[in-house]
């Protein structure tokens, strides 16, 4: 039987349902966002790294800047 294909949006919804994490500093609920960042390698070229980051009011400017 074939496995059901899930999108990234479905995975984030599932993670958000399972984990209602509140920030201890600002008290807001953290939201999960996929961040793609450019990292410079030792050879001088760029490599793009995909990360899932929890964002709240405290680190929102750092993630989206």
Question: Does this model's pTM top 0.85?
Answer: no
Phi and psi for 18 in degrees, rounded to 5?
-75, -35
Quote the number of domains for the chain.
1
pLDDT tens digits for 7-64? 888 887 777 666 677 888 888 888 888 889 899 999 999 999 998 888 888 888 888 8
Domain assignment present for 45: yes
| Residue 30 burial (CB count, 10 A) | 19
For residue 43, what are the domain limits? 30-65
Domain assignment present for 64: yes
Q: Which pLDDT score, from 0 to 100, does residue 18 have?
A: 64
Please say whether the beta carbons of 63 and 56 come within 8 A. Answer: no
Please say whether the beta carbons of 27 and 4 come within 8 A. Answer: no
SS3 40: strand
Domain assignment present for 37: yes
């Amino acid at each position: 039987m074939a496995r059901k294909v899930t999108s990234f949006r479905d995975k984030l919804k599932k993670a958000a349902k399972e984990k209602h994490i509140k920030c201890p500093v600002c008290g807001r609920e953290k939201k999960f966002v996929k961040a793609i960042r450019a990292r410079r390698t030792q050879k001088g070229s760029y490599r793009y790294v995909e990360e899932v980051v929890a964002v709240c009011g405290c680190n929102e400017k750092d993630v989206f800047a």
